[in-house]
């Protein structure tokens, strides 16, 4: 990942030529909209158990960058009457407090707790944006370790620099590469779990 985003390794176009140089952008410049989050009053039952996914930091897994599900849901009333915001599908949610640096692409409409900032209406390839942000957030998180800082402010995050290939085709190639690698890793993890379960079953049958 480091060699790709440091541009030590580069893709070529279909004619074998180099793509144009990359641009430096602030994170705030890669999305048309930025959303915060909020927690509806837990004492008001009408705010909860609706049909809007409400994402917490614990829903975001370090090794799963495409969010498939979450544990809690809120109602439309909570969007209208609380600090929670309805965020459009295909946005990137970034944890800025507890678990700072975790992030995910959310392919459905959703809301989040106040521990997030979400980048919406992305201006660049969504998978490239996702993996480039992952690389950037890892560097930010490493700099925060060993300090008393519990998170990153909205301004600090949005002012952080991200590198963007000028050519959309190169963005797509990079995003697709990392996505395919992650799918391969996930597939093999599933195979390992199946083999572990098979082994446990055989051990029980043999030694009982």
pLDDT tens profile 82-94: 999 999 999 999 9
In angstroms, the Cα distances linking 160 to 129, 134, 135, 152 are 14, 13, 12, 11
Lowest-confidence range among 65-74, 98-107, 130-139, 184-193?
184-193
The span from the CA of 190 to the CA of 153, in Å, is: 37
Predicted confidence (pLDDT) at residue 15 exceeds the cutoff of 90: no
Among the listed residues 120, 123, 119, the one whose alpha carbon sits nearest the alpha carbon of residue 154: 119
Please state the pTM of the whole predicted model.
0.86
Query: How does pLDDT run across 94-127, given as a tens digit for each residue?
Result: 999 888 889 999 999 999 999 999 999 999 999 9
pLDDT score at 63:
80
Q: Is 170 exposed, middle or buried (0-12, 13-18, 19+ CB in 10 A)?
A: buried
The contacts of residue 109 (CB under 8 Å, 6+ apart) are 52, 53, 86, 87, 88, 89
Predicted confidence (pLDDT) at residue 145 exceeds the cutoff of 80: no
The span from the CA of 184 to the CA of 64, in Å, is: 12
Query: Which CATH architecture does the domain made up of 2-207 adopt?
Result: Alpha-Beta Complex (3.90)
Question: Which run of H or of E encompasses 25?
Answer: strand 23-26
Residue 22 has phi, psi (to 5 degrees) of: -80, 160
Angle between the 168-207 and 126-144 helix axes, to the nearest 10 degrees?
Answer: 70
Residue 143's pLDDT band, with cuts at 50, 70 and 90, is: confident
Higher pLDDT among residues 4 and 148, named by residue: 4
Tell me the CA end-to-end span of the chain in Å, nearest whole number: 48
């Amino acid at each position: 990942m480091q060699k790709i985003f440091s541009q030590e390794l580069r893709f070529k176009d279909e004619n074998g030529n180099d793509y144009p140089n990359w641009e430096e952008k602030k994170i705030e410049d890669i999305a048309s909209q930025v959303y915060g989050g909020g927690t509806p009053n837990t004492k008001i039952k009408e705010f909860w158990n609706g049909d809007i996914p409400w994402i917490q930091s614990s829903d975001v897994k370090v090794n799963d960058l495409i969010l498939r599900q979450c544990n809690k849901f809120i109602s439309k009333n909570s969007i209208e009457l609380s600090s929670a915001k309805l965020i459009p599908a295909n946005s990137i949610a970034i944890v800025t407090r507890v678990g700072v640096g975790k992030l995910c692409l959310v392919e459905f409409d959703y809301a989040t707790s106040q521990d997030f900032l979400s980048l919406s209406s992305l201006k660049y390839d969504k998978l490239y944006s996702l993996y480039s942000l992952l690389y950037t957030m890892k560097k930010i998180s490493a700099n925060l370790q060993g300090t008393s800082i519990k998170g990153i402010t909205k301004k600090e995050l949005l002012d952080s620099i991200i590198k963007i290939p000028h050519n959309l085709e190169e963005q797509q190639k990079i995003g697709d590469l990392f996505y395919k690698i992650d799918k391969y890793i996930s597939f093999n993890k599933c195979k390992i779990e199946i083999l572990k379960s098979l082994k446990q079953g055989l051990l029980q049958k043999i030694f009982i």
